[in-house]
């Protein structure tokens, strides 16, 4: 046996010395390590340990040698020793792939023997040094049981965060079972941020399967799964599901909306802005899957986003001061949410003023409870919301002015987004975001004002009440702020004579000034739709709005469209060598046009060179007609026009709106689909004006149930006769009786002069004294309302319209 150095021979057991002698041809460190391995393989643990310690002593500065010794200690189930020996080599392993692999093998060996704490300590250095999927998986395999053990004595949250970081870097290679367990632990620890990080990594990697696993939605549609999670208070899972839904269907407005607010709830306002900026205008069907924003466990406005918006402010600028006024009178249950939606903005320069007209529903107590949120409270009678808003603005030197009604809410981040935009461009006159109509927090649309750009803000465009305005192309109001200088340029007033459309009147005046408008692509307000609001009375609202519109604008088709319609009329009414063919369509003609009246009309029009055909419906093919005239009820619409054109009909399409006093919005929509519109009531003509069809002067519609022969033989009636429909009214006139109007809308079929001279009475009114020709005058007027003279009058009006363009 070769002699051993004294420093070794004295410290090694006999068996270790024999193992070492067999390897004396190697350098001492390698010889010792080789002998240690052989002892370990032979099960001679004491000899292996002694040789390993001696080997380390021979080359303590050699990192590779040190890690090989650490690996041997791990094999010998000596985790504390392995960990202690490996620790000095961590720094060197961070830059040397060979050392990193040795470190990883040591940690993996420790994991397999169950020494998970030691394994974690070693593997956290190896995966960071070489973040290959294999290294990350080894770390995750060790860290999961180590974290579970820590739960009994206090969760190791730093380890949990490191596991998520490691898994997110190679998400597609992570075992699904380990990912599912990591997600469960993160959710239980209240670390939704870690769970969302994993979900974002899966989506970014295009691994939809793992994204579904992390969202815990199974095979459900992602957006539906997210909605279920929100309902059961699992916001992080919901956020992943919404992000996946948006990733899979970026054109879906509801998915985009949910993903944007999920990002905001996760504390990432920049990501939220990037997602929400392209949110298009959308209707109720498109937003059916939109969720009301939640932050933590509470819905907006009872909780605010976890991260603020202060970074939006340009360097060196100050937040513009914003004054918001809320007018109210017995506002019901929603005022508190309105106040909180302003307070929860966290905007440092807002002045919220409540102007209460003397509510008796407990509003005073509610305001007192939230007085610390308010800049000022005015409580005194007023003449309506317009006057209240003007009171709230009076004396203010705020930079921006706006109002928010007691049933609406600001959206999260609204004031910071609008205020920061104004700070960057203080020369603008109006700054606005978008609005989200909702019913009881069920979002039913996204209204994006001026989606085609500020150039569309004109009096002409605003004047299209039932077209562009009704389609939501302009402001609902709470999403817009007006610069104080512009407000003063507009006279610093609202029209206090208006009950509901004072904002519309303001926008008309504003549009006339060609304001500088700044659009901010951010939802700024939630606009509540409910039965009790002022604007719920659609007919009264439409009448007031049209009356205001008529002060400054009267919509009409552009000249080219008008000339095209007149050309159609001219061609239809000018037939050489044959009669003009008129097709009259009335869906109820079997009951509304008697055979005798039909024949009389045909004969009367034939004398005028008109061939009349009357039908209950349009033919499937192109009708053999030059003009098509249809008697239309309030909700008949104009869907029938396109098939008529597709069948090859080139002539003018005329609609006689015999129920134009019913639903103003439905009638206006019908009018837009026609060439020529014939109102029945002069008072309703203005509401039918738009940019597609020519609207003729009003003509009372025909009575087809009575023929001229019937009228001539009709016996004289009583002095007065109660009538409840149009045909009854005509019959009363034909009988010479004074009609007593028992139904609304009948009086509007006549001019004011006719109502006075015929006369027409309301129930309870006494008839005026009769004179010699008053009965004859009523009979004459009744005869003029029969089918033949009415059609003749319509054709005369059509010919006159042709002359208008010459």
What is the 3-state secondary structure of 15-76?
A: HHHHHHHCCCCCCHHHHHHHHHHHHHHCCCHHHHHHHHHHHHHHCCCCHHHHHHHHHHHHHC
Contacts of 595 (CB under 8 A, 6+ apart): none
* Cβ contact 38:17 at 8 Å: no
* Domain-terminating residue out of 665, 694, 723: 694
| pLDDT over 60 (residue 672) | yes
* Cβ contact 140:167 at 8 Å: yes
Is 13 among the domain residues? no
Q: Give one DSSP letter per residue of 255-304, joined into a string.
A: HHHHHHHHHHHTT-HHHHHHHHTTPPPB-TTTTTT----EETTEETTSS-
What is the rounded distance in angstroms from the CA atom of residue 135 to the CA atom of residue 112? 14
Q: Residues 792-796: what's their mean pLDDT?
A: 95
Is 252 among the domain residues? no
Contacts of 784 (CB under 8 A, 6+ apart): 790, 793
Tokens describing residue 28:
């001492």
For residue 358, the domain's CATH number is 3.90.550.10
Taking the CA of residue 582 as centre, how many other CA atoms within 13 Å lie in the half-sphere pointing to its CB?
25
What is the rounded distance in angstroms from the CA atom of residue 668 to the CA atom of residue 654? 14
Q: Residues 464-483: what's their mean pLDDT?
A: 92
Domain co-membership, 646 together with 717: no
Closest Cα to residue 341, out of 283, 286, 415, 398?
Answer: 415
What is the rounded distance in angstroms from the CA atom of residue 635 to the CA atom of residue 724? 21
| pLDDT over 80 (residue 24) | no
Is 305 among the domain residues? no
| pLDDT over 50 (residue 2) | no
| pLDDT over 60 (residue 730) | yes
| pLDDT over 90 (residue 10) | no
Cα–Cα distance list, 529 to 299, 468, 538, 580 (Å): 19, 20, 12, 51
Neighbours of 668 (CB within 10 A): 24
* Domain-terminating residue out of 631, 663, 694: 694
Residue-wise pLDDT for 142-189, tens only, equals 999 999 999 988 889 999 999 999 999 999 999 999 999 999 999 999
Give the whole-number percent of the chain exceeding pLDDT 90.
Answer: 83
- Report which DSSP code applies to 4: P
Can you give the three-state secondary structure of 498-537, one letter per residue? CCCCHHHHHHHHHHHCCCCEEEEEEEEEEEECCCCCHHHC
In the block, tokens 């005329």 appear at 654
Domain co-membership, 727 together with 672: no
Higher pLDDT, 300 or 772: 300
Q: Residues 83-111: what's their mean pLDDT?
A: 93
Closest Cα to residue 479, out of 508, 503, 505, 515?
Answer: 503
**pLDDT band with cut points at 50, 70 and 90 for residue 667:** very high
Is 649 among the domain residues? yes
Is 605 among the domain residues? yes
Range in 29-33, 674-678, 750-754, 784-788 the model is least confident about: 29-33
Q: How many domains does the chain have?
A: 3
| pLDDT over 70 (residue 789) | yes
In the block, tokens 């020709």 appear at 773
Q: Residues 665-681: what's their mean pLDDT?
A: 96
Q: Residues 404-411: what's their mean pLDDT?
A: 97
Helix (H) or strand (E) holding 142: helix 133-150
pLDDT of the residue at 22:
59
Domain co-membership, 523 together with 640: no
What is the rounded distance in angstroms from the CA atom of residue 422 to the CA atom of residue 429? 9
Give the whole-number percent of the chain exceeding pLDDT 70.
Answer: 96
For the question of whether the overall pTM of this predicted structure is more than 0.75, the answer is yes
Domain co-membership, 421 together with 491: yes
* Cβ contact 632:658 at 8 Å: yes
**pLDDT band with cut points at 50, 70 and 90 for residue 507:** very high
Is 540 among the domain residues? yes
Helix (H) or strand (E) holding 606: helix 595-606
Higher pLDDT, 321 or 500: 321
Domain co-membership, 637 together with 766: no
* Cβ contact 474:456 at 8 Å: no
Q: Residues 644-652: what's their mean pLDDT?
A: 94
First to last CA, the chain: 129
In the block, tokens 């046996």 appear at 1
What is the rounded distance in angstroms from the CA atom of residue 49 to the CA atom of residue 7? 16
Q: Residues 457-465: what's their mean pLDDT?
A: 93
* Cβ contact 196:270 at 8 Å: no
| pLDDT over 90 (residue 618) | yes
* Cβ contact 68:104 at 8 Å: no
pLDDT of the residue at 30:
84
Is 357 among the domain residues? yes
Domain co-membership, 537 together with 607: no
What is the rounded distance in angstroms from the CA atom of residue 80 to the CA atom of residue 72? 12
* Cβ contact 227:289 at 8 Å: yes
Residue 722 forms beta bridges with which residues? 740
Domain that holds residue 603: 559-694
- Report which DSSP code applies to 620: S
How does the average pLDDT of the chain come out, rounded?
A: 92
> CA 753: distance to chain centroid?
50
Q: Residues 523-532: what's their mean pLDDT?
A: 89
Domain co-membership, 509 together with 564: no
Tokens describing residue 652:
């003018």
Is 279 among the domain residues? no
Q: Residues 81-101: what's their mean pLDDT?
A: 92
* Cβ contact 696:629 at 8 Å: no
**pLDDT band with cut points at 50, 70 and 90 for residue 77:** very high
pLDDT of the residue at 1:
38
Q: How big is the chain by its Cα radius of gyration, in Å?
A: 41
Q: Residues 218-245: what's their mean pLDDT?
A: 96
pLDDT of the residue at 671:
96
Q: Give one DSSP letter per residue of 715-778, joined into a string.
A: PP--SEEEE-SHHHHHHHHHTTPEEEE-STTSGGGS-HHHHHHTT-B-TTPPPPPP-TTHHHHH
What is the rounded distance in angstroms from the CA atom of residue 697 to the CA atom of residue 190? 70
| pLDDT over 90 (residue 536) | no
Q: Residues 441-447: what's their mean pLDDT?
A: 96
What is the rounded distance in angstroms from the CA atom of residue 755 to the CA atom of residue 743? 15
Neighbours of 11 (CB within 10 A): 14
Q: Is 621 exposed, middle or buried (0-12, 13-18, 19+ CB in 10 A)?
A: exposed
For residue 660, the domain's CATH number is 3.40.50
Domain co-membership, 615 together with 713: no
* Domain-terminating residue out of 490, 525, 549: 549
pLDDT of the residue at 14:
63
Domain co-membership, 633 together with 723: no
Domain co-membership, 543 together with 623: no
> CA 87: distance to chain centroid?
56
| pLDDT over 80 (residue 20) | no
Give the three-class secondary structure for 75: helix
In the block, tokens 């969760």 appear at 155
Neighbours of 285 (CB within 10 A): 11
Domain co-membership, 623 together with 645: yes
Domain co-membership, 517 together with 545: yes
| pLDDT over 60 (residue 3) | no
Q: What angle do CA 631, 682, 600 make, to 5 degrees?
A: 40
pLDDT of the residue at 131:
82
| pLDDT over 80 (residue 17) | no
In the block, tokens 């004072």 appear at 502
């Amino acid at each position: 046996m070769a002699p051993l150095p004294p420093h070794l021979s004295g410290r090694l057991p006999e068996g270790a010395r024999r193992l070492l002698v067999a390897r004396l041809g190697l350098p001492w460190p390698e010889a010792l390590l080789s002998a240690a391995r052989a002892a370990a393989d032979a099960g001679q643990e004491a000899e292996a340990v002694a040789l390993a310690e001696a080997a380390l002593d021979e080359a303590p500065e050699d990192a590779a040698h040190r890690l090989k010794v650490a690996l041997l200690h791990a094999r010998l189930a000596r985790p504390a020793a392995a960990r202690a020996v490996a620790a000095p080599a961590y720094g060197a392993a961070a830059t040397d792939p060979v050392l990193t692999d040795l470190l990883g093998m040591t940690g993996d060996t420790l994991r397999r023997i169950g020494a998970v704490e030691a394994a974690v300590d070693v593997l956290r250095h190896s995966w960071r040094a070489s973040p290959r999927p294999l290294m990350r998986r080894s770390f995750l395999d060790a860290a999961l049981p180590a974290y579970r053990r820590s739960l009994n004595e206090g969760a190791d949250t730093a380890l949990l965060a490191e596991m998520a970081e490691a898994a997110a870097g190679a998400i597609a290679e992570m075992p699904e079972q380990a990912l599912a367990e990591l997600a469960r632990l993160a959710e239980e620890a209240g670390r939704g941020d870690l769970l969302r990080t994993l979900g974002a990594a899966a989506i970014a990697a295009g691994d939809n399967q793992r994204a579904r696993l992390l969202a815990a939605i199974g095979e459900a549609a992602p957006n539906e799964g997210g909605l279920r999670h929100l309902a059961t208070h699992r916001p992080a899972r919901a956020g992943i599901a919404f992000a996946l839904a948006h990733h899979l269907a970026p054109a879906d407005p509801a998915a985009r909306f949910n993903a944007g607010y999920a990002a905001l709830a996760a504390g990432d306002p920049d990501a939220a802005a990037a997602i929400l900026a392209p949110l298009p205008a959308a209707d109720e069907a498109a937003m059916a899957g939109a969720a009301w924003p939640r932050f933590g466990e509470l819905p907006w406005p009872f909780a605010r986003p976890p991260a603020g918006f202060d970074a939006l402010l340009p360097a060196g600028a100050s937040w513009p001061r914003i004054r918001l006024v809320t007018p109210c009178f017995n506002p019901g249950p929603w005022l508190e949410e309105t106040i909180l939606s302003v307070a929860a903005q966290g905007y440092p320069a807002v002045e919220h003023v409540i102007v209460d007209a003397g509510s008796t529903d407990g509003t005073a107590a509610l305001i007192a409870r939230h007085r610390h949120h308010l800049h000022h409270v005015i409580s005194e009678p007023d003449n309506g919301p317009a006057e209240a808003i003007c009171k709230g603005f009076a004396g203010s030197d705020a930079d921006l002015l706006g109002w928010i009604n007691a049933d609406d809410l600001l959206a999260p981040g609204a004031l910071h987004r609008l205020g920061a935009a104004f700070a960057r461009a203080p020369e603008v006159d109006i700054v606005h975001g978008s609005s989200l109509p909702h019913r009881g927090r069920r979002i039913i649309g996204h209204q994006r004002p001026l989606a085609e750009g500020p150039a569309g803000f004109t009096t002409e465009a605003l004047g299209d009440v039932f077209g562009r305005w009704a389609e939501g192309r302009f402001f609902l109001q709470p999403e817009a702020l007006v610069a104080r200088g512009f407000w003063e340029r507009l006279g610093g007033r609202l029209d206090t004579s208006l009950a509901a459309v004072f904002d519309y009147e303001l926008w008309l005046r504003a549009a006339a000034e060609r304001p500088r408008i700044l659009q901010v692509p951010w939802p700024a307000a939630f606009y509540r739709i409910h039965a009790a609001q002022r604007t719920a009375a659609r007919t009264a609202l439409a009448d007031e709005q049209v009356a205001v519109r008529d002060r400054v604008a009267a919509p009409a088709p552009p000249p080219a469209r008008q000339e095209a319609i007149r050309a159609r009329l001219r061609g239809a009414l000018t037939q050489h060598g044959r009669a003009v063919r008129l097709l009259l369509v009335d869906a109820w003609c079997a009951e509304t046009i008697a055979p005798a009246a039909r024949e009389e009309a045909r004969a009367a029009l034939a004398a005028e060179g008109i061939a009349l055909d009357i039908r209950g419906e349009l033919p499937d093919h192109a009708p053999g007609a030059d003009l098509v005239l249809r008697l239309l009820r309030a909700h008949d619409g104009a869907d029938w026009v396109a098939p008529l054109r597709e069948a090859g009909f080139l002539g003018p399409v005329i609609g006689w709106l015999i129920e134009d006093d019913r639903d103003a919005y439905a009638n206006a929509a019908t009018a837009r689909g026609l060439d020529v519109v014939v109102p029945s009531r002069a008072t309703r003509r203005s509401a039918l004006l738009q940019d597609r069809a020519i609207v003729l002067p009003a003509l009372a519609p025909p009575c087809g149930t009575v023929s001229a022969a019937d009228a001539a033989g009709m016996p004289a009636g009583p002095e007065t006769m109660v009538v409840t429909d149009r045909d009854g009214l005509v019959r009363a006139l034909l009988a010479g009786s004074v009609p007593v109007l028992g139904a609304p809308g009948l009086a509007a079929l006549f001019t004011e002069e006719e109502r006075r001279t015929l006369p027409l009475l309301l129930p309870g009114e006494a008839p005026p004294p009769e004179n010699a020709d008053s009965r004859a005058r009523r009979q004459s007027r009744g005869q003029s309302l029969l089918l033949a003279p009415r059609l003749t009058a319509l054709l005369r009006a059509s010919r006159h319209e042709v002359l208008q363009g010459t």
